[in-house]
A and B are shown apart, each in its own frame.
Chain A
Amino acid sequence: MIESRVLPTDYVTEPGRFRTSTGKTLKTDEMIINMGPQHPSTHGVLRLEIVVDGEIVVDVIPHIGYLHRCFEKHAEHMTNYQQVIPYADRMDYLASMNNDWGYALAVEKLLKLEVPPRVEYIRVIMAELQRIASHLIALGTFGIDMGAFTPFLWCFRDRERILDLFEMTCGARLLYNYIWVGGVSHDLPARFVEKAKDFCKYFKPNIVELNNLLTYNEIFIKRTANVGVLPKDVAINYACSGPMLRGSGVNWDLRRDDPYSMYNKFEWDVQVGKGEMGQVGDVWDRYIVKVREMEQSVRIIEQALAAIPEGNVQQAIPKRIRPDHGEVYVRTESPRGELGFYIVSDGSTSPSRVKARSPAFVNLSVVPEIAHGCMIADLVAIVGSTDIVLGEVDR
């Protein structure tokens, strides 16, 4: 870790204040630029309509919906609650396990269904592995946004190991359809626990490696510290969640503060942005929270692997799902933040309404608020640090 502190960047952040070295003001005009829908740094099909004054961003208007696949409409038209799960997979395609789990939990709560402890442990392990995989992509692509290509490849190398674990469990590498209402689709294969332990052992030094390569890199810090500061009160007002909220210094994690499943049985710490390189809530803080969360996820996985009980993972899967009239809102902590499912049941075999409150959708809505007065290149950093997945923004 380097000792030197980085001074705040001192560019002028008010429009129309570019000056020549003799102090003469330039005549500048506002201009509209479209960043996206196809743009390497928008992480998918997102169009940002930017009003710029010279190099300085005056206003940002995000246009979304390019990847809208009517998840909510599909969910209403299924003949069975179970059939929605493959669609939930495809919302946040980098964290399918967490999406399945969120939906399955909501339906289980509607049915007042208890799942066996082995299922709970498997789900925790899968969700935390998925969190690491998702964070690895977030950090790697964020590095690319900042001009660092190598960390991206290193992250993908480690993510590959996790995908191998998923593949040996359920056969799929990206969209698993693994966590079902009441259980999981396959029990853990014979050598899974051993291999997962190997992964934890292998992965821990790699976080240090990533830190040495990217996190404490001077150039990287210059690009990210003091940029895109999201104050605490704005973050709460915009209902930001996940690393975005924690990066702003709010000590809040649904796994601890609104616990579901087995999370209250494990020992781990919530990571919060502290403004180590600049101000609390800047892009670097949002980045470092994700790095440290990976360490905590490894801790949870190790505890879960050590304590996993035996049992039948499919005995609680209901043959027929027909909840009573009612409604439920269940929120879980996905890698991107609070993933909520609001399900209304009309007593039939398919939901009458499913609303997915996707964290990326909400986190993206705050970008216009924090991008005022930044440089165009910093806008890339801000969008990268919000860690959006457009599949989930558009659903």
Chain B
Amino acid sequence: MTPQEIHDGLKAKFGDAVVEAKLDAPQPWIRIAPNKMKSLCFFLRDDASFQLDYMMCLSGVDYNDGNLGVVYHLFSMVHKHKIVLKANCPKDNPLVQSVSEVWGTANWHEREAYDMFGIQFDGHPDLRRILCPDDYPGFPLRKDFKVPEFYNGMKVPY
């Protein structure tokens, strides 16, 4: 399927959940409402004409304009088509539906996005920090992150 057909298929089924799309980009993407993510992804994975069964990557992004984003790179092992989904959320209330039930691999990727950007994944079974220590202050990959002067009483030489 071409990205245009994927977009049209989603638009027909989910309507307003498809917020925005840029289909002429080198890697076309579709922006989805963050609170519709889960049902939409179940549909993308299970519907016979989409079958996007392979999640290549899930990344958190800080756009530095007050918004955080989650970017999903999806691929179909059956039909060999790709699509990029995006979900934006405001930095002061970063809530996105978890897709870890849809693709098992999303579990750890979402934990990483939470760890680095503080994005809350609604419905994630085990949303703990994954790379940083459990007591680490703040979310290091946010653009406004400042390295703390002290960490657990130790001076950070930075």
Binding site for B on A (CB under 8 A): 64-65, 68, 70, 72-73, 76, 109, 234, 236-239, 250, 252, 257, 326-329, 331, 338, 340, 342, 344, 346, 352-353, 355, 357, 361-362, 365-366, 369, 394-395
User: With the chains together, A65 CA to B60 CA distance in Å?
Assistant: 18
Contact at B56–A340, with CB atoms within 8 Å?
Answer: yes
Q: Which residues of chain B (1-54) have a CB below 8 Å from chain A?
A: 25-27, 53-54
Pull 5 A–B residue pairs with CB atoms less than 8 Å apart, ordered by A.
A65-B129, A238-B103, A239-B103, A326-B25, A362-B105
Cross-chain contact A237 with B130 (CB below 8 angstroms): no
Q: Do A357 and B57 touch across chains, with their CB atoms under 8 A apart?
A: yes
CB distance from B65 to the nearest CB of A (A): 11
Contact B71 A342 (CB under 8 A): yes
Mark each residue of chain B from 121 to 156: 1 if its CB lies under 8 Å from any CB of chain A, else 0: 000000001111100000011000000000000000
A230 vs B66: C-alpha distance in the bound complex, in angstroms? 42
- 6 additional A-B pairs beyond A328-B26, A329-B27, A340-B56, beta carbons within 8 Å, are A73-B141, A237-B105, A329-B57, A342-B71, A357-B56, A369-B104
Asked whether A329 lies within 8 Å of B104 as measured between CB atoms, the reply is: no
Contacts of B56 in A (CB 8 A): 239, 329, 331, 338, 340, 357
User: B69 to nearest A CB, angstroms?
Assistant: 9
Q: Which of B103, B131, B140 has the most CB of A within 10 A?
A: B131
Interface residues of B (CB under 8 A from A): 25-27, 53-57, 59-62, 64, 71, 73, 77, 80, 84, 103-105, 107-108, 116, 129-133, 140-141
7 shortest A-B CB distances, which residue pairs?
Answer: A239-B105, A355-B59, A65-B131, A357-B57, A238-B104, A365-B108, A68-B131
Q: Which residue of B lies closest to A364 (CB)?
A: B108
Nearest neighbor of A69 in chain B, beta-carbon distance: B131
How far is it, in angstroms, between the C-alpha of A208 and the C-alpha of B116 when the chains are bound? 46
Residues of A within 8 A of B108 (CB): 361-362, 365
CA distance A338 to B73 in the complex (A): 13
Residues of A within 8 A of B133 (CB): 65
The minimal Cβ–Cβ distance linking A389 to chain B, given in whole angstroms, is 15
**Complex Cα distance A70/B145, Å?**
14
Rounded to whole Å, the gap between the CB of A60 and the closest CB of chain B is 13
Residues of A within 8 A of B132 (CB): 65, 68
With a CB–CB cut-off of 8 A, which chain B residues contact A239?
Answer: 54-56, 103-105
Residues of B within 8 A of A366 (CB): 104
Asked if residues B140 and A73 are in contact (CB atoms below 8 Å), the reply is yes
Inter-subunit contact B27/A65 (CB<8 Å): no
Distance (Å) between the CB of A143 and the closest chain B CB? 28
- Residue in contact with B116 in the complex, picked from A72, A109, A331, CB distance below 8 Å: A72
A247 to chain B, nearest CB (A): 16
**Chain B residues positioned under 8 Å from A109 (CB to CB):** 26
CB contact under 8 A between A340 and B130, given known A73-B141, A329-B73, A366-B104: no
Q: Determine the chain B residues whose CB is within 8 A of the CB of A357 once the complex forms.
A: 56-57, 59
A362 to B58: give the CA distance in the assembly, Å: 11
**Contact assessment for B61 and A344 in the assembled complex, using a CB-CB cutoff below 8 Å:** yes
Per a CB cutoff under 8 Å, which of B64, B73, B116 touches A342? B73
Task: Collect the chain B residues with CB atoms within 8 Å of residue A342's CB.
Answer: 57, 59, 71, 73
Chain B neighbourhood of A344, CB < 8 A: 61
Query: Which of B27, B77, B140 touches A250 (beta carbons < 8 Å)?
Result: B77
With A237-B104, A239-B103 as contacts: A65 and B130 at CB distance below 8 Å: yes
* Nearest chain A residue, comparing its CB with the CB of B115: A65
